[in-house]
Amino acid sequence: MELFTKTLFLCLALALTNGAPVQPQDAAVNAAALPDRCAGIEFDAITPDEKGNMLFFKGSHLWTGYRGPAQPSNESFKELDDLHNIGHVDAAFRMHNPENPDDHDHIYFFQDDKMFSYYNHTLEDGYPKEIQEDFPGIPTHLDAAVECPKGECIADSVLFFKGNDVHVYDVSTKTVKTKTWSHLPVCTSATRWLEHYYCFHGHNFTRFHPVSGEVSGDYPKDARRYFMTCPNFGHGGHYKVRKCSEAKIDAIATDDAGKSYIFAGPIYMRLDTHRDGLHAFPITKAWKEVTSGVDAVFFYTNKIYLIKGDQVYIYKTAAHYTLIEGYPKTLKEELGIEGHVDAAFVCPNEHTVHVIQGQTMRAVDLTATPRAETQVVPMPLSDIDAARCSAEGIHLFKGSQYYNYESPMMLALSKIAPVPQNITKAMIGCEE
Kindly tell me the burial class for residue 425, based on how many C-beta atoms sit within 10 Å of its own C-beta (0-12, 13-18, 19 or more).
Answer: middle
Contact 173, 129 (CB under 8 A): no
Q: Cβ contacts of residue 317 below 8 Å, gap of 6+?
A: 255, 256, 299, 302, 303, 304
429: region left, alpha or beta (phi > 0 left; psi from -120 to 50 alpha) = left
User: How many of the other CB atoms lie within 10 Å of CB of 337?
Assistant: 19
Does 279 belong to an annotated binding site? yes
Contact 43, 35 (CB under 8 A): no
DSSP state of 186: P
SS3 1: coil
What is the 3-state composition of the chain as percent helix, strand, coil, each rounded to the nearest 5?
Answer: 10, 35, 50
Cα distance between the two ends of the chain:
30
Does 167 belong to an annotated binding site? no
User: How many of the other CB atoms lie within 10 Å of CB of 144?
Assistant: 27
From CA 351, how far away is CA 392, in angstroms rounded? 18
Q: Return the closest-CA partner of residue 61 out of 81, 84, 38.
A: 81
User: How many of the other CB atoms lie within 10 Å of CB of 265?
Assistant: 14
From CA 69, how far away is CA 11, in angstroms rounded? 7
From CA 184, how far away is CA 195, in angstroms rounded? 19
Q: Give the Cα-Cα-Cα angle 58, 59, 62 (nearest 5 degrees).
A: 45
Name the binding residues for heme: 235, 279
Name the binding residues: 235, 279
